[in-house]
Structure 1
Amino acid sequence: MNTIPSVHLADFLSDDPIKKQKFIKEIGNAYENIGFVALKGHFLDDKLVEDLYQEVKNFFDLPLEIKEKYEIPGIGGQRGYVSFGKEAAKGKKEGDLKEFWHFGQYVEDNPALEAEYPANVIVEELPKFNEIGKEAYKMLEKTAKYVLRALALHLGLEETYFDNYIKNGNSILRPIHYPPIQDEPKGAERAAAHGDINLITLLMGAQGKGLQVQNHNGDWIDAMAEPDELMINVGDMLSRHSNNKLKSTIHRVINPPRELWGTSRYSIPFFMHPISDMKLNVLENCIDENNPKQFEDITAGEFLDERLRDLGLKK
């Protein structure tokens, strides 16, 4: 497969069982064959997207000493600001050429989970930043819920199988700024080749060239979305849970050609995580004589902790 398939969420949400089944089949095939899909019909309206990008640019334009005030020690970068070059892909010593921010879950009716997650960080200088971030978080979470419902049906599970695991889940909205490149990067990339940790990732900002996906033949292909599409990929948690039936695809953000080094790039992924005590044990109906169990039993929380250490975000 050398192109990213495009699907429309309205088909899944329609009352027409044929359209719904078509969506399930298309998204299921995409995730079995390449691990990425472009999705139209999500719940982010144009105004919200425009406002979010403006607030994100406003934040990254702040002086470094102000941004660093929001870098919180001891929480593995899970909330607030993470400064340039701090995160490196698993197995890579060079830090990625990016700085980013994390919005986390807005827990409802669950004091235990509220105590488990770090609090969201409020940016005093930008009164609308947190409000717009929260609204975008909610709409992306809502979109992700329906994508996971389609994938549950594709895997032969009950449609709402994932619902209770993702309600108040440890999901993250990460606005990223790839600043202009000043010097020869010496092996560093805007985002080195990696797989995502979580269940699924919903990415805003894949309109320009840069994001590349590795297909099953090992070829790198450009993943470019239309302005009204989100790029959505499977993460390692869902790959483990489905015994690699659904593929967590290696992807990267390459550096632009030298003549474009002076430009910034912004992208905003939403990492859909479940609650930490969800068991990621391989689903029984994804095991057969041709596909023996490939992964050890582990919880989402244990797996996340392991991977944050791999990334250098946790000691």
Structure 2
Amino acid sequence: MTKIASVSLAQPLETIADELGRSFSENGFAVIRDHGIPQDLIDEAEAVSKAFFALPDAVKRAYKIEGGGGARGYTPFGTEKAKDAEVFDLKEFWHVGRDLPEGHPLERFMAPNVWPTEVEGFRETLSALFTAFEVAGGRVLEAIALHLGRPRDFFADSVAEGNSVMRLLHYPPLAEGAPEGAIRAAGHEDINTITLLLGAEEAGLELLTKDGTWHAVDVPAGALVINVGDMLQRQTNGRLRSTTHRVVNPRGDAARRARYSMPFFLHFRPDFMIEALPECVDASDSTPPLPPISAHDYLMQRLREINLA
């Protein structure tokens, strides 16, 4: 039986750390309630997201940054595909990243944001949501650190000024003539440290269990879905799992509705070296830990695999 933890982030972290750790070890996923992101901010972000995606295609495409790997601005429908997939996902999206001051030592890793002038309040709303996601993500990482037996601020330096990205996702209503086998998001693992997802209440999100079956993720209204990314899996030598997941096509009336969601991909600093933690390495394990790699090099390697770089 797949048991995904559902915990309140308003509780003392010491009381939820091991339940989160168990869920991340077994399933790679957990549900977080009372995450601290104000509902009115979420509602405003959803409104500006819908307003942007409702713009004419030519207007949206003016914000596509050629050669940018989709890191900022607009990525059109039919661009991204899962690793090893033969058809593209049925989605379009917008990326907001970290704003760095000119001359910052990490600016070569993080391009400036672009902002559509056609949608009032877009920049202000999404900048505020980016910050709120970071705060909530930091709390989750503190709980993970406690589960690993580390000080609660263990991850703070490694994610400070990290190359985190917030994505506004639009899955249009399903159309006749879509490529055979195409779904809204084919099975994939996330590249980053942890992902925080808003807007998963509508059915469709599924994770692949250890026994090879797909399991629907049931999400209470307003809650965050958290999943482990490949970077954290690598750092914990597989103790915390980066689980394959997908968004399947709905049926009936839901197939004629658009779906919107907002994942926040929390990343390490680009210059952080990802290497297995000693406490996660078992000397009796026949598979040695993977060699150290910088977060930036790992990101570039993976972006090439999904057709974004």
TM-score normalized with structure 2 length:
0.96
Matching of residues 185-224 of structure 1 within 5 Å = 185=178, 186-224=180-218
- Picking from 45, 49, 66, the partner of 2:42 is 49
Distance 1:224 1:82 in 2: 28
- Picking from 299, 302, 308, the partner of 1:307 is 302
Q: How many residues align structurally?
A: 307
Distance 1:65 1:233 in 2: 34
Moved more, 103-112 or 87-96: 103-112
Deviations 1:102-160 (A, max 9, x none): 00012369711234311101111113011111101100111001111111121122221
Change (3 A) 1:302 1:106: same
Amino acid in structure 2 at the alignment position of 1:220: W
Match of 1:285 in 2: 279
Amino acid in structure 2 at the alignment position of 1:299: S
Does residue 182 of structure 1 match 2:175? yes
Amino acid in structure 2 at the alignment position of 1:306: Q
The runs of 4+ residues in structure 1 deviating greater than 6 Å are: none
Matching of residues 1-315 of structure 1 within 5 Å = 1-12=1-12, 20-107=13-100, 111-185=104-178, 186-291=180-285, 292-314=287-309
Contact 1:108–1:168 (Cα < 8 Å) also in 2: no
Distance 1:121 1:215 in 2: 38
Amino acid in structure 2 at the alignment position of 1:51: E
Change (3 A) 1:38 1:183: same
Amino acid in structure 1 at the alignment position of 2:126: G
Distance 1:114 1:167 in 2: 14
SS of match in other structure, 1:116? coil
Give the percent of matched residue pairs that are identical in Structure 1 and Structure 2: 39
Structure 1, unaligned runs of 5 or more: 13-19
TM-score normalized with structure 1 length:
0.94
SS of match in other structure, 2:90? coil
Contact 1:43–1:140 (Cα < 8 Å) also in 2: no
Amino acid in structure 2 at the alignment position of 1:89: A
Residue 285 of structure 1, CA deviation: 1.2
